[in-house]
A and B are shown apart, each in its own frame.
Chain A
Amino acid sequence: MEWKASYRLLNYCKHLFHRRWTPNFHYFKTFYTSGCRYYFNQPSVLIKPYIGNFQQAFQTFKHPSVSLGMHQRNRCRSQYRCFASQATIIQRRSDFSTISSEDLSYFKNILGERGVVQDEETLDAVNTDWMRKYKGTSKLMLQPRTAEEVSQILKYCNSRSLAVVPQGGNTGLVGGSVPAFDEVIVSLSHMSKIISFDKVSSVLVCEAGCILENLITFLDNQGFIMPLDLGAKGSCQIGGNVSTNAGGLRLLRYGSLHGSVLGLEVVLANGTVLDMLSTLRKDNTGYDLKHLFIGSEGSLGIVTKVSILTPPKLSSVNVCFLACKDYESCLKLLLEARRKVGEILSAFEFLDHDAMDLVLKHLEGVRNPFPSSMHNFYVLIETMGSNESYDREKLDAFLLHSMENDLMSDGVVAQDITQASSCWHIREGIPEALMKAGGVYKYDLSIPVEKMYDLVEEMRVRLDASAKVVAYGHLGDGNLHLNISTPQYDDNILAQIEPFVYEWTSKHKGSISAEHGLGLMKANKIHYTKSSETVQLMATIKKQLDPNGILNPYKVLPSSLLTKN
């Protein structure tokens, strides 16, 4: 094993050598290991550029610290924006209580001192969302360790009318995971046990606070993978993933969490613990209530345990990164890929010229596969199968055919895992690059694919030179991530974007939230996608499950529908 470490260490040093003098430097590299990617994110001080520290670097490698990735965000030179302008629109609900000293002693009594966090620095971090765009003023974070503790917390909060925000890894992108005002933060991070894994049924049962990447690593050792994978894996939690119904990079292959989640344990607002933790694939007894909680963004209950179906890890993984001259070609390529490598296709992602440009400018350690020229569009295709030579043959035939038909202008096929990781690093690094570039307005849209890019072009015309319009996303799922990057947040620019982007999406029968949810950002925008009867029924369900409205208030549904009668 020694050679590996020394080789990697040298690699480390090489990076250090070039970047040691860059301010805010931190090492950031992805390893793509047999179908799973790992983020390595270590402060530079850890690694001294001498072999003498070999042991330490090796340990660091073998035991990648877990909550890395996104927790480093404090280092980003990003815009800071308080929630001020929005807060004027939403009023704090006056029927909610504020924390009293009796409340604190009650919580300390059930959770112990360690489970009650009032330390300012910690609170500052958990009050602020990943984009540093939304910021609450909560004075209290609770860290339960069992569903029973969650139950006691909620029962008490419900009786006291104390509002609550459930928080997972706090990587949500719609302001749903932080308080709007002074809601009590209930963090699931101390509920991170893996309960069971059964190889035959391939069902994993774990607590909600398990970090996605830890589950990926755990399963990797068993020869399995998680059915979802996303750029935030180093911080996001399975409970957060379920609560946002996160899509991610593998949805194309393994479908949404509505398919792979087999059971949940959920605590309702009044403290009732709902045991729906089935590990059965088939169970048609009555209404399948777990689906209510998948994607409800903490507004109906707190997810405490998850049972999930995991696919086997396949040994043959191929990644290619292709360049296309126009959007039309990307679509044709998608169609071809479905036809020719459909059964092994596991990801089909795209990014446009502006996204590539941004990543190359703002992200460290990125390697442009086509250094000699820029292209208009890029497509990342991943296949996963069980037979390397069969997969390669199919993939090569598809690529050859596409090349002959002029669907791509250039392309590379990763020859080893390191090259595959570098390709993924480009696609997965876009959100981080956007953060570093300044302010960003994010829109996560489902639009019929053939129309999808029209919106981007119209937006560029509307905004002209005032902002940079960046497009990327899960093309295979018809999911566009439209991002408008500006040096500073500017209400004039916002007025140019909204409501135009929502109206356009609505007109084309799309969804204004493909996978990120509504959160605080889009609670009042739900009508652009759902009929009023549907929204009304949602409000009825919400009122039924949470009559006092203490769970994640101001989020998901328009507040106007939830006032008490």
Chain B
Amino acid sequence: MKIMVAIKRVVDYAVKIRVKPDKSGVETKNVKMSMNPFCEIALEEALRVKELGLASEVVAVSVGPSQFTETLRTGLAMGADRAIHVEAPENIYPITIAKILKALVDVEKPGLLFLGKQAIDNDQNQTGQMVAGLLKWPQGTFASKVVLDKEKQVATVDREVDGGIETLCLNLPAVITTDLRLNQPRYATLPNIMKAKSKPIKKFTLQDLNIEIKSDLEVVEVTEPPKRKSGVIVSSVDELIDKLKNEARVI
């Protein structure tokens, strides 16, 4: 069985986000970019499944501009066998990504498609669900545990839901999106980083996959959350009461 993992390149999660002065989006120039943490977890899970002997190959795929291949290299250095890069503009909406992923699934025919539950840049949390819909595959989202039964071709997925853990059984092929508690992704070791340099990254264009980008959505403006006002130290209880009464008007 083959596993496909979708990977996104985002502003590193430890970087302080700055909004562009023209409010068209978030500043990404001269900013450290890394693999989306949830995608890292998805890839780690796929690698573990393979290491258990339950899969034969892990294919990492990413959709975006050419720098996205650097993130795919990281995926290869972690242990993915090969990668697919779909050349496309940045900031494509989930529905388009889902269509692209479906097209790739049609080419690669994996038994499992892993995705992060969401990308930490736009927080859409839609791609996994949409691609499962398009493929008409069962989906296990927010996975915190994945157990595979090769004989029965079934995946058992624990999902973190409000009240606790929900356990689902999915018939393969299936889509699984991964949550934070699923695993701790490995470091890329040097020998693997070197090996990754010679692993293949196959390129596709949107035309190759017969996909057209169009969106009914338009970003109007991106702004920072309002700054918190700094507190003041009052010198007496009287002053506090006065402020609560006359400034805050809460008593």
Q: Chain A residues in contact with chain B, CB under 8 A? A: 1-4, 7-8, 10-11, 14, 31-34, 59, 62-63, 220, 315, 317, 320, 322, 367, 369, 396, 399-400, 403, 408, 410-419, 421
Contact = CB atoms under 8 A, between A and B. Distances in A.
B180 to A, nearest CB: 5
Nearest to B118: A3
Q: Which 3 A-B pairs have the closest CB atoms?
A: A416-B34, A417-B14, A411-B190
B interface: dominant SS: loop
B152 interface: no
Interface stretch (B169-177, B181-189, B202-210, B213-221): B181-189
Nearest to B181: A14
A412 B190 contact: yes
Interface of B: 12-17, 30-32, 34-35, 37, 74, 77-78, 118, 120-121, 123, 180-181, 184, 187-191, 193-194, 197, 224-225, 228
Contacts of B12: 416-418
B34 A412 contact: no
Contacts of B34: 415-417
Nearest to B11: A4
Contacts of B187: 369, 412-415, 419
Nearest to B77: A415
Nearest to A402: B190
B180 A10 contact: yes
A145 to B, nearest CB: 16
Given A7-B37, A415-B35, A416-B35, A403 B15 contact: no
B194 A31 contact: no
Given A7-B180, A415-B77, A410 B189 contact: yes
Contacts of A399: 190, 193-194
Given A59-B228, A403-B190, A412-B190, A417 B118 contact: no
A317 B14 CA distance: 13
14 contacts: A7-B13, A34-B32, A63-B228, A396-B197, A403-B190, A415-B78, A415-B188, A416-B13, A416-B14, A416-B35, A417-B15, A417-B32, A418-B14, A421-B14
A437 B194 CA distance: 38
B203 to A, nearest CB: 18
Nearest to A421: B14
A360 B62 CA distance: 36
Nearest to B224: A1
Contact of A410 (B190, B197, B228): B190
B32 A7 contact: no
A32 B15 CA distance: 8
A412 B188 CA distance: 6
A160 B217 CA distance: 77
Nearest to A404: B194
A34 B13 CA distance: 11
A315 B120 contact: no
A413 B188 contact: yes
A417 B224 contact: no
A11 B77 contact: no
A151 B13 CA distance: 47
Nearest to B230: A63
A408 B193 CA distance: 15
